[in-house]
């Protein structure tokens, strides 16, 4: 009888220890440890973010070219127009993406991504974000081409999964990043006769047209 009581006591003690361990384990799991499956990690966002920032640089270069009255030497569609390679009359070139890589593994749903564009005020181009002026703490608009500042806005995703835009030492946090398809800033690149190349955007950035270099016909690569 004594052995039976000892066995029951041991079993009760082991059961008590097990319950205490489970309680400690569950208590250590906080809401902060749960990751939203629809939120892409920073490592998963690399190509999409790179594509967006390439387009931001391309927009700035287009505006510079327009102000400098440069012409287009060649414009080459790549992968059936998914991207374009542009060469200017001064020998410089740049790329732009009409199709942005999917974010966080893709999906068919179109999700939010920042649209860095530009608008004109008093004959000067200023950066916009989602069709509003790009401003920071002092609410001062940011010039696209500034002789005193060569910085370009940089889009990213922070450790908390939110879109960000930085300009020099200044930064803003935007909407939450979600996995899915992204819309490019560039809607279409096309020739107007044999004289112009027209760049059309998906936001309120005004159409930009550059003349074709007349001595050399445009080259197309497929």
What's the N-to-C CA distance of the chain in angstroms?
90
pTM of the model: 0.78
Residue 184 or 19, more confident = 184
Mean pLDDT, rounded, for 50-79: 96
In which band, very low, low, confident or very high, does the pLDDT at 46 lie, cut at 50, 70 and 90? Answer: confident
pLDDT of residue 39: 64
* Rounded Cα gap, residues 43 and 33, in angstroms: 18
Mean pLDDT, rounded, for 11-26: 46
Q: How many CA atoms lie within 13 A of 69 on its CB side?
A: 0
User: pLDDT tens for residues 124-163?
Assistant: 999 999 999 999 988 999 999 998 899 999 999 999 999 9
pLDDT above 60: residue 220: no
Query: φ and ψ at 106, to 5 degrees?
Result: 95, -140
Quote the distance between the C-alpha of residue 86 and its chain's center: 21
* Rounded Cα gap, residues 101 and 160, in angstroms: 21
pLDDT above 90: residue 22: no
């Amino acid at each position: 009888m004594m052995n039976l009581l000892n066995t029951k006591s041991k079993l009760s003690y082991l059961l008590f220890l097990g319950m205490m361990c489970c309680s400690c384990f569950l208590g250590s799991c906080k809401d902060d440890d749960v990751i939203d499956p629809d939120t892409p990690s920073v490592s998963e966002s690399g190509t999409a973010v790179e594509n967006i920032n390439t387009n931001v640089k391309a927009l700035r270069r287009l505006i510079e070219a327009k102000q400098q009255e440069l012409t287009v030497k060649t414009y080459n569609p790549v992968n059936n127009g998914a991207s374009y390679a542009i060469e200017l009359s001064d020998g410089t070139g740049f790329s732009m993406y009409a199709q942005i890589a999917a974010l966080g593994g893709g999906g068919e749903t179109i999700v939010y991504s920042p649209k860095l564009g530009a608008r004109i005020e008093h004959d000067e181009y200023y950066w916009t974000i989602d069709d509003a002026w790009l401003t920071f703490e002092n609410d001062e608009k940011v010039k696209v081409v500034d002789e005193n500042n060569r910085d370009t806005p940089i889009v990213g995703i922070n450790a908390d999964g939110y879109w960000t835009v930085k300009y020099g030492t200044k930064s803003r946090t935007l909407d939450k990043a979600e996995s899915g398809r992204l819309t490019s800033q560039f809607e279409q690149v096309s020739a107007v006769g044999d004289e112009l190349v027209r760049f059309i955007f998906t936001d309120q950035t005004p159409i930009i047209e550059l003349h074709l270099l007349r001595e050399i016909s445009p080259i197309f690569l497929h």
